[in-house]
Chains A and B, each alone.
Chain A
Amino acid sequence: NAGVTQTPKFRILKIGQSMTLQCAQDMNHNYMYWYRQDPGMGLKLIYYSVGAGITDKGEVPNGYNVSRSTTEDFPLRLELAAPSQTSVYFCASTLGGQISLEAFFGQGTRLTVV
């Protein structure tokens, strides 16, 4: 199993550009999440999904959109990139509910907006 796979690993965007961060998991997890991590800070939740077709906002959703058409994939869309979105983005998944609360993370996408 590959676990949680994120692409790309690095990206530089110009202000106003758009991009999609890809996330895929092969563990058949129902629950998936997008976090961002700024230097010296903990991770903050952007969006999450408890199953295909169901998404909801986290703590810092502004400027982002998500979709969940399959159990495996959970892409994060930045429509109009701003310098404040410079960060490291982590996708995560869990089996969910009371069964397991352990979260599995991808290796991250380092995004710089200039």
Chain B
Amino acid sequence: SQKIEQNSEALNIQEGKTATLTCNYTNYSPAYLQWYRQDPGRGPVFLLLIRENEKEKRKERLKVTFDTTLKQSLFHITASQPADSATYLCARINGSSNTGKLIFGQGTTLQVKP
């Protein structure tokens, strides 16, 4: 089956450090991967999209990489802050990109300690 998997264990880091979250996929090659942030009791909020022909994408303190050889995307938050504490979801397009259907990983919870 075509899976997308994230580390289900929570990631705890100290403020100011770089947080790195992993998203792995198997048995297919997605044209796009997306990353979302989800706070408790809230809906996911879109952060970044990376295409298969892009190795890296940045937005402020966020960086996403896409390694089609390793079948992996890494999500980095540099100079992390307690306000970055949340669950981060990766997602891929399911089927044709014209429908926008998403398949999500289970999410990784990040806790940034002051």
Q: Chain A residues in contact with chain B, CB under 8 A?
A: 4, 31, 33, 35, 40-45, 48, 50, 58-59, 90, 92, 94, 96-98, 101-108
Q: Are A41 and B106 in contact (CB under 8 A)?
A: yes
Q: Is the CB of A106 within 8 A of B43?
A: yes
Q: When the two chains form their complex, are residues B98 and A103 in contact, meaning their CB atoms are under 8 A apart?
A: no
Chain B residues with CB under 8 Å of A105's CB are: 43-45
Q: How far is the CA of A94 from the CA of B32 in the complex (A)?
A: 15
CA of A108 to CA of B44, assembled, Å = 10
Min CB distance A89 to B, Å, is: 10
- Decide: B101 and A101 in contact? CB cutoff 8 A: no
Residues 1-25 of chain B, each 1 if its beta carbon lies under 8 Å from chain A, else 0 = 0001000100000000000000000
* Cβ-defined contact, A108 with B43, below 8 A: yes
Q: Are B44 and A90 in contact (CB under 8 A)?
A: yes
Chain A CB count within 10 A is highest, among B34, B36, B89, B102, for B102
Interface residues in B77-96 (C-beta closer than 8 Å to A): 89, 91, 93-94
Assuming the contacts A33-B101, A98-B98, A101-B100, asked whether A42 and B107 have C-beta atoms less than 8 A apart, the reply is: yes
> Interface range on chain B: under 10, 10 to 19, 20 to 34, or 35 or more?
20 to 34
Cα(A75)–Cα(B42), bound, Å: 19
Q: Does B104 contact A (CB under 8 A)?
A: yes
> Judging by beta carbons under 8 Å apart, are B44 and A50 in contact?
no
Is B114 positioned at the interface, with any CB of A under 8 Å from its CB?
no
Could you tell me if A101 and B43 are in contact, using CB atoms closer than 8 angstroms?
Answer: no
B8 / chain A contacts, CB cutoff of 8 Å:
40
List the B side residues contacting A33 at CB < 8 Å.
Answer: 100-102
Contact mask B24-47 → A, CB, 8 Å, 1/0? 000000001010100001111110
Verify if B74 is at the interface (C-beta below 8 Å from A): no
Give Cα distance in the complex from A58 to B101, angstroms: 8
From residue A22, how far is it (CB to closest CB) to chain B in Å?
Answer: 15
Task: Report the nearest A residue to B43, measured CB to CB.
Answer: A105
Which residue, of B36, B41, B44, B49, has the highest number of chain A Cβ atoms within 10 A?
Answer: B44
Q: Are B94 and A103 in contact (CB under 8 A)?
A: no
A residues within 8 A CB of B106? 40-42
